[in-house]
Amino acid sequence: MTRTTISVSVETRNWLFNLKEPGDSYDDVLRRELINPDRDQD
């Protein structure tokens, strides 16, 4: 079994952390941002 470790920069980590809402996983954040990166709603 091969494990791939993706190292993310501090900037990316902070960006993700800022976008993260309670109950969100990072996958949720990424999926939401990638699907609709310009969303400007609450």
pLDDT in tens, 29-41: 888 777 776 666 5
Average pLDDT, integer, range 7-34: 79
What residue has token string 């791939």? 4
Question: What is the percentage of the chain residues whose pLDDT exceeds 90?
Answer: 0
Alpha-carbon gap, residue 9 to 15, rounded angstroms: 10
Question: What is the band of 42 on the pLDDT scale with cuts at 50, 70, 90?
Answer: low
pLDDT at site 14:
82
The type of residue at 37 is P
Spell out the long-range contacts of 7-13 with Cβ–Cβ below 8 A and sequence spacing 24 or more: none
